[in-house]
Structures are given as C-alpha cells and as structure tokens.
C-alpha cells in the first residue's frame, strides 16, 4: 500500500499536537476533581501527575499505531485477529480502556450489516444516545461509523454497535485524522460504555482501503473505510497508580 507523503517532522509535529491536547484535557479533569483547589501544592502535584500520565499515553498512541498497521498490512482483519492482536497490547498498557475498530457504512448497507451481526450477536443493532444519554436504536442517516470491534468486550458492551458519528467531537477529530493520516484526539465526551457521568477522550487513526494511492487530502477521504481508536477514561487515568 502506498503511504502518504508526510515528512518525519510533520508526523512528529502532529503527534506533539495530539499530546498537548491530551495534556489540557487531563489537567482540566484534575482541576474538576480537586473542586477548584488551586493552591501551589495542587498545581505541583497536577504537573507531576499529568507528566506521568502523558508518558503512558505516548506509549498508548504507539499501540494505536500498531493496531492501525494491522489493517494496513492485512486489509480484511477478522474479529478474532483483532482480539488476539489487542489482548497483549492492552495488558501492557493499562491506560487504555478499550481499542476499537469503527466501520463506515452507508444506509444502503445497514440492514444487511445488522442482519449479519445478529447471526453472532442476536440483539445487535446500531445505536445512538438521546439527550438524556439513553442508548436507543440509531435513526436512519446517510452514513454511519459503527463500533464494529471493541476489546476488551467485557466492560465496554455499551459501546458495541454505537454510531460514533453521533458525537460531533468524534466527527471533527476523525476528519483531522483522515486529512493528515495521523492520530487525532477528541475533546472530552461522555463514554457510552460508562455508567454515570464518566467522561473520557478518544484518539483516532484512519483506516484506508488497502492498495489506495494516498497522495493528498481528496484521495485520503475517498479511500477511507473506517478507523482504529484508543479509548481513555479520565477518572481512571487520574486514579491509576
């Protein structure tokens, strides 16, 4: 597969931008948990903690790149292959709550896709959230970006089948990632798999059609078939050792 023509310096710059965005998200979350405690000791502790977490997230972004390369190398990755590949990576990187593969579908493909999925998961349906954060069957729309694979499944069942484009934060981050071919982080958003008000963020990388020629933004958009994603829960990050 032909790679897009990004220089190492550009890739490094984009990774740095993702890291800075995540640092802001984490620092903001820690401020909220501290109930606006802004004394010197808190700031010092927050800087040390954010630095430690950032190191872990940098490693996690490398994991996301590895998962993405699985699709680059093999194109059609099975559910079993995704699970087997993800398991040791998740074990070594406790900062990651889940690894996803989002599949892009048109509305014309929806019924057949849901029927095929119900052969293995009888109650499967593409979902979205209403204004009260309740999961319900997704409304019909021209396109969907569905959580097709997710590991580990245990504890993340609520996200399985979710239409990620239902969240504008994800759509904006996804578009940045598609246009650059590099990781992109969302802002804070409610995690579908969490009960209550737990917020998190997602780092995304696009999956392009295998063999596509990726020379510019237009060609990358035309070749997009989905994305891989790493999910982080902010409270769990902050409380982790």
Contact status, residue 130 vs residue 136, Cβ threshold 8 Å: yes
Neighbours of 165 (CB within 10 A): 18
Highest mean pLDDT among 3-12, 17-26, 47-56, 83-92: 83-92
Average pLDDT of span 123-142: 91
pLDDT at 217: 95
Q: Which of 6-15, 98-107, 110-119, 174-183 has the lowest mean pLDDT?
A: 6-15
Classify residue 162 by its DSSP letter: B
Q: What angle do CA 179, 51, 155 make, to 5 degrees?
A: 70
pLDDT tens for each residue of 15-72: 555 655 666 666 666 555 555 555 556 666 667 666 766 777 777 888 999 999 999 9
Q: For residue 101, with 0-12 CB atoms within 10 Å meaning exposed, 13-18 middle and 19 or more buried, which class applies?
A: buried
Classify residue 161 by its DSSP letter: T
Nearest alpha-carbon partner for 32 in 42, 40, 17: 42
29 vs 176, more confident: 176
Hey, what domains does the chain have and what are their CATH numbers?
8-239 (3.30.450.350)
Q: Does position 130 have pLDDT exceeding 80, yes or no?
A: yes
pLDDT tens for each residue of 187-200: 877 777 665 566 78
ω into 152 cis (within 30 of 0): yes
Contact status, residue 159 vs residue 100, Cβ threshold 8 Å: yes
Contact status, residue 216 vs residue 193, Cβ threshold 8 Å: no
Taking the model in full, what pTM does it have?
0.77
Nearest alpha-carbon partner for 124 in 154, 71, 171, 162: 162
């Amino acid at each position: 597969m032909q790679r897009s023509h990004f220089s190492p310096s550009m890739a490094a710059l984009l990774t740095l931008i993702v890291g800075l965005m995540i640092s802001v998200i984490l620092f903001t979350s820690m401020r909220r948990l501290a109930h606006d405690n802004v004394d010197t000791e808190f700031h010092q502790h927050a800087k040390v903690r954010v630095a430690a977490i950032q190191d872990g997230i940098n490693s996690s972004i490398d994991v996301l790149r590895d998962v993405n390369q699985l699709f680059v190398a093999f194109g059609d990755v099975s559910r079993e292959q995704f699970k087997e590949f993800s398991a040791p990576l998740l074990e070594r990187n406790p900062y990651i709550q889940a690894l996803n593969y989002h599949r892009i579908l048109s509305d014309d493909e929806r019924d057949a896709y849901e029927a095929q999925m119900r052969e293995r998961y009888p109650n499967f349906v593409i979902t979205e959230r209403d204004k009260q954060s309740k999961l319900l069957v997704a409304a019909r729309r021209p396109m969907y970006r569905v959580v097709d694979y997710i590991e580990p499944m245990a504890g993340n069942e609520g996200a399985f089948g979710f239409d990620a484009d239902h969240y504008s934060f994800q759509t904006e981050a996804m578009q940045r990632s598609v246009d650059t071919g590099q990781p992109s982080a969302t802002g804070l958003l409610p995690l579908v798999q969490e009960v209550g008000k737990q917020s998190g963020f997602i780092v995304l990388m696009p999956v392009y059609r295998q063999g596509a020629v990726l020379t510019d933004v237009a060609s990358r958009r035309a070749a997009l078939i989905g994305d891989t994603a790493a999910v982080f829960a902010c409270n769990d990050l902050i409380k982790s050792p």
